């Protein structure tokens, strides 16, 4: 719930920074979908976490040192809005001046994303694709639907269909050819 509110607030922050595209994404993904997914996960799992105390002695210094190093790193960064910052010197002037003529699009963000950095965007789409496939394989959306073809009865879900202990090694080899088979059909 807090993360949903945080995402909505940062979406507003992005709008004031004139990054409307990022604000869109943040509001829809952070405020909407990931909150729903988190709540769904909470509904599936228990409320209590397993108490584990021994590790904090190592974890606390590691977190503090990492955080300190990151803050130290920000001291070297150019000031916010500095026109002489390195990022504004390299290819940005060309994008701002020429992308209108070269792509015919007034939205520079779109022309950079889709055209100049097309490879990057394709990589991102592949990452999303892989994430979807990973969720399907891990949560067994494909196998369970196949074993229970009639969706008329939603509740009687045999618990032995999913066994978290053995799911990884057992499911994957048998799942791959079946997925391929279904795609062909």
Partner 1 sequence: MKRHLVLRVIAKLLIPPILLFALYVQFHGDFGPGGGFQAGVIFGAGFILYALIYGVENAQRVAPPDLVRVLVSLGVLIFAGVGVWDLVLGGNYLDYNVMAEDPVTGQHIGIILVELGVGITVAAVMMTIFFAFAGRER
Interface contacts to partner 1, rule CB under 8 A? 20-21, 24-25, 28-29, 32-33, 36-37, 40-41, 43-44, 101-107, 109-111, 113-115, 118-119, 121-122, 124-126, 128-129, 131-133, 135-136, 139, 141-142, 144-145, 151, 154, 157, 162, 182-183
Question: 8 or 136: whose CB is closer to partner 1?
Answer: 136
Q: Which of 171, 169, 159 is nearest to 179 (CA)?
A: 171
Residue 139 CB, nearest approach to partner 1 (Å): 4
Residue 62 CB, nearest approach to partner 1 (Å): 31
Question: 104 or 173: whose CB is closer to partner 1?
Answer: 104
**Buried-exposed string 25-63: b where 16+ CB fall within 10 A, e elsewhere:** ebbeebbeeebeeeeeeeeeeeeeeeeeeeeeeeeeeee
DSSP state of 152: T
Work out the angle at residue 101's Cα, subtended by the Cα atoms of residues 14 and 91, and round it to the nearest 5 degrees.
Answer: 55
């Amino acid at each position: 719930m807090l993360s949903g509110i945080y995402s909505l607030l940062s979406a507003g922050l992005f709008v004031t920074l004139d990054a409307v595209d990022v604000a869109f994404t943040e509001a829809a993904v952070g405020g909407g979908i990931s909150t729903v997914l988190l709540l769904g996960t909470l509904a599936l799992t228990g409320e209590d976490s397993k108490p584990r105390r021994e590790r904090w002695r190592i974890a606390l210094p590691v977190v503090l040192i990492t955080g300190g190093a990151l803050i130290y790193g920000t001291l070297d960064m150019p000031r916010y809005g500095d026109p002489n910052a390195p990022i504004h010197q390299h290819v940005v002037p060309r994008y701002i001046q020429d992308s209108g003529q070269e792509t015919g699009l007034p939205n520079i963000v779109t022309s950079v994303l889709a055209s100049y950095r097309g490879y990057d965007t394709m990589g991102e789409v592949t990452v999303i694709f892989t994430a979807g496939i990973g969720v399907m394989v891990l949560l067994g959306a494909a196998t369970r639907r196949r074993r229970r073809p009639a969706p008329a009865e939603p509740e009687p879900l045999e618990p032995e269909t999913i066994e978290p202990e053995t799911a990884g090694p057992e499911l994957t080899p048998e799942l791959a050819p079946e997925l391929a088979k279904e795609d062909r059909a």
